[in-house]
A and B are shown apart, each in its own frame.
Chain A
Amino acid sequence: MPARRIRAFAPLLLILAVACQPTGASLSPPAASSAPSAAAYPLTLTDDAGRQVTLAAEPERIVSLAPSNTEIVCALGACDRLVGVTDFDDYPAEVADIPDVVIFAVVDIELVLDADPDLILAAGNELTPSGVITELTDLGYPVLVLYPESLDEVLDNIELVGEAINARDQAGALTAEMEDRIEAVTDAVAGAARPRTFYEVSVFEGTIYTAGRDSFLASLIDLAGGEPISGDPLTFSIALEDLLAADPELILLGDAAYDPSVTPEAVAARQGWGAISAVQNGRVVVMLEDPVITRPGPRIVDGLEALARAIHPERFD
């Protein structure tokens, strides 16, 4: 899927982009036609869950309920406005000093309230439980739910957040840079033969977890010039038989980033895996960049680049 080109007309294109969202709801136009960088509050936005969220004023106290959201805010230069993050946030370094409101993936409502936010950035698809979103909304807080399912949607999220926190210029610049880098990747791998690529998320108790069919991860592999082998879209698992039948030419070990025991040698030694082409040809690669490949935030392009280098090493360097 070729990347769209976005240049300096950020506000206009933002309106277009949001209008083309599957949810279809429209953005109430701020005073965008005059000074492009001034947002007018109160502002009503539509988030990834199709909810209309109204912001009364420029948010000064932002709570993020997912690491990707935190990275977006910081990438837009608003790190100092964060008053609550998750205990899983690790980038950039300064977020370590911000108090945690999500502990072991459980949102502590009291701590959120105590942080007195005027904007909460939640994650969709039950990563932030819908009950929590409802409770926070009922308590009167503006909650913006972000759930990008593709690279384009990550860019849209960055611009949505930029719109929300009056950082549209920064958002435009960031997405422009990301677009350039994406285009560079797709140009670099254009025309190359696409190897059947299996991305191992984890192997646990005999169950193999990988990218689900039509998932974000699968689309990244596709963009990076590989033919993704995918698993069940609900459970993200694939039976060993099916994997053997698909016979990947390249295996990327995402779990090696967290588990040093996952090595190409260990994989080759697994029962039945020896028959796979990738194993026989020695094309089993450790992907230490898994954290950025699987976090749908500003560094996702780093992930894309890592994937492309692993899939088509001959096109880089």
Chain B
Amino acid sequence: MRASVATRSLVGGPSLGRATLVIGGALVVLLASVVVAVGLGSVEVGLPEAIGIIGHRLGLPVTETWASTAPTILFEVRLPRVLAGALVGAGLGGAGVVFQALLRNPMADPYVIGTAAGASLGAVLAITAPVLVPALALGAGTAWLGIGLAQVLAFAGGLGAVALVLVIARQGGRSNMVTLLLTGYAVSSLVAAVVALLLVSSGRALASVVGWLLGSLGGAGYPELAVAAPLVFGGSALLLFRWRTLNLLLLGDEAAAGLGVDLVPARRGLVLLATLVTSAAVALAGTIGFVGLVVPHLVRLAIGPDHRLLLPVSCLGGAALLVLADMVARLVGGVPVGVVTALIGAPFFLWLLHRAAGATTTP
């Protein structure tokens, strides 16, 4: 019996047309968000002027009708911030998808196995060390290759904490995902206690520490972006190719292995890549919450759970969301972007719980 044409067309995942539409749509949303976010801020730069400034920078013959500080505001103050938002949002959105699939837990976020705790420890150490040990005071804005010490230690801390969690989780024999989750929670709690201790002893650096923990895109300059971008892009790109494995992992370990997934190396690879991306994002902007949790769910609701599209669209969606959240934070004034994402994310999280409680369970 020949299969109908209808069946044939449903196989093979989304058609090229649909994939283009969805990903193209997400790209358009992101670009629009970037343009709007660069155009809006504390200082009013009208839309025609903003377009003119961009055109002028691109070499087009445009007569200058704007204040001389406007291009500086756009390109030196706002643009790096917006780009950082896109980069961090993309990283967190993608990593969130991966951890939710790996841990088979819809409440998982990219920080859950220790990244946030470790990165916080690194950054807070960097910020408070000069206060605790005056000999270490290196002066304002010391940097290596243009990168601040806090960023370097945050990145190292994020990777280090996850490595520790992986080692500890493996001690119990075969490391399964529940063990990993619980170990991550335990290590995170321990590290968070140390961070709290440093917080109390931070003296004059308290405001900086709290600011970092709440997350902010303001500390990211072009040098930091240049280092973080390849990490986030590279890591995310490699993750994009693993969509099949992520789909299969949802079927359970046994079924996934039965379909050819070599569980241990596959999971290790996914954890490493996702942690790399997350650590780079946290090093750049601090621990901004809810993006990695909420974006995968929103995208899943919109286009379905197939990771072929879910992963790239979550990256693009996360980027757009964070760019817009930061814009709101800037317009309201003095509000850390993590507060805005929490205000969006927490109600959504509660709604998710409510929905999960009412849903039927699968056999």
Contact = CB atoms under 8 A, between A and B. Distances in A.
A126 B127 CA distance: 11
A134 B141 contact: yes
Contact of B43 (A51, A111, A129, A135): A111
Given A49-B139, A126-B204, A110 B221 contact: no
B140 A49 contact: yes
A274 interface: no
Contacts of A104: 333-334
A101 B131 CA distance: 28
Given A110-B77, A139-B72, A130 B204 contact: no
A228 B99 CA distance: 57
A235 B202 CA distance: 8
- Of listed B41, B67, B69, B219, residue having the most chain A CB within 10 A: B69
A138 interface: yes
B203 interface: yes
Contacts of A269: none
Contact of B140 (A133, A234, A235): A133
B333 A103 contact: yes
Interface string A132-175: 01110111000001000000000000000000000000000000
Given A126-B208, A234-B131, A234-B203, A133 B43 contact: no
Contacts of A145: 140
A254 to B, nearest CB: 19
Interface residues of B, number: 30
A116 interface: yes
Interface string A119-133: 000000111011101
Given A126-B207, A139-B72, A235 B201 contact: yes
Contacts of A135: 221
Nearest to A106: B334
Contacts of B63: none
A50 interface: yes
A184 interface: no
Nearest to B76: A139
A108 interface: yes
B52 to A, nearest CB: 18
Interface residues of A, number: 29
A113 interface: yes
A199 B219 CA distance: 37
A51 B200 CA distance: 30
B124 to A, nearest CB: 14
- Of listed A104, A125, A127, A134, residue having the most chain B CB within 10 A: A134
A272 to B, nearest CB: 23
A111 B148 CA distance: 25
A57 B201 CA distance: 43
- Of listed A49, A51, A130, residue having the most chain B CB within 10 A: A130
A23 B41 CA distance: 39
Contacts of B204: 125-127
A131 B219 contact: yes
A109 B218 CA distance: 10
A131 B68 CA distance: 24
A311 B77 CA distance: 50
A125 to B, nearest CB: 5
Contacts of B41: 110
Interface in B42-82: 42-43, 67-69, 72-73, 76-78
Top-9 shortest CB links A-B: A134-B141, A130-B140, A106-B334, A110-B42, A234-B203, A114-B43, A110-B43, A104-B334, A126-B204
29 contacts: A49-B139, A51-B140, A103-B334, A108-B42, A110-B42, A110-B43, A110-B77, A111-B42, A111-B43, A113-B69, A114-B67, A114-B73, A125-B204, A126-B205, A129-B208, A129-B211, A130-B140, A130-B208, A131-B141, A131-B148, A134-B140, A134-B141, A138-B221, A139-B72, A139-B77, A145-B140, A234-B203, A235-B200, A235-B201
Interface of B: 41-43, 67-69, 72-73, 76-78, 131-132, 139-141, 148, 200-201, 203-205, 207-208, 211, 218-219, 221, 333-334
